[in-house]
Amino acid sequence: MAIWVATCLKSVFSVLGCVMLGTLVYTLSIDGLPFRKDLLTPWMAATLVDFYINVVALALWISYKEPSWSSAILWVILLACFGSITTCVYIVLQFLKLSSEESSQDPIYHVLLRYPTKDVTEKKRKVSPVVTMRILFGALGFLMLGTLLYTLLTDGSPFRKELLTPWMEATLIDFYINVVALSVWVAYKESSWLSAFFWIVLLICFGSITTCVYIVRQLFQLSSQDPVYLVLLSSGNRAENRYERSSW
């Protein structure tokens, strides 16, 4: 079953990466470059804010995963520039790095965590990373909520035909491919399919507002002394990692 999950996710993100690449090339060919003032409508600006808040969450995971700052910075720049194409390439590469044993046990767990999983050189910090992340994602959530309300009040409903330009369509595809990646993480973390379905529907409807609410909610399940990477794990794996750390 676990090997099937790994194979399925590799295939899904390979296909999604190709879809986004095709969308990007097609939109460039029919509508030119996106760096034009006429494209930056209020709802396009709000969509970009929504998109990049999700990118922040993915960028923090990539920064945690990468063994050096130079490689982390490179991947984050690619993520900021190419969006979900980079997300898909990175995720597929992480699955390809798994050993056959890891793929047959818990592939998502091993993809989420960096190597080695035990950071014996970790130093105590004056400011808790968990508290810092709570503040960061709380602020980003309020930023997106404010952006959404302001755009609704000043520009009306987003469900208007004239807003759906080729670049808006491409941006939405880009956005929702990243939502797929976040939804896989949510499904892995949740203890039941019902709760996973509930959060994924909220992700689809409210985008990065839900991302921020979900991450902050998970962070409040950690103590301020916990390493922040535990937020990535399901409750069972989180408890196991806490036990391993306490036994060093």
At 235 the pLDDT is 75
Residue 54 in tokens? 């999700």
Residue 29 in tokens? 């060919």
Nearest Cα residue to 65 out of 109, 111, 96: 111
Q: What percent of the chain has pLDDT over 70?
A: 91
Q: How many CB atoms lie within 10 A of CB 51?
A: 20
Residue 108 in tokens? 């998502």
Q: What percent of the chain has pLDDT over 90?
A: 81
Query: What is the identity of the amino acid at 9?
Result: L
Residue 171 in tokens? 């941006």
What is the SS3 assignment for 20?
helix
Q: d(Cα 55, Cα 76) in Å, to the nearest integer?
A: 9
Cβ-contact 63, 76 below 8 angstroms: yes
Phi (first) and psi of residue 193, to 5 degrees? -65, -30
User: Does the pLDDT of residue 206 top 90, yes or no?
Assistant: yes
Residue 225 in tokens? 């002394």
Nearest Cα residue to 14 out of 176, 177, 171: 177
Q: How many CB atoms lie within 10 A of CB 2?
A: 14
Mean pLDDT, to the nearest integer, of 119-130?
A: 64
Q: d(Cα 93, Cα 108) in Å, to the nearest integer?
A: 13
Look up the pTM and report it. Answer: 0.91
236 pLDDT band, cuts 50/70/90, is confident
User: Does the pLDDT of residue 199 top 90, yes or no?
Assistant: yes
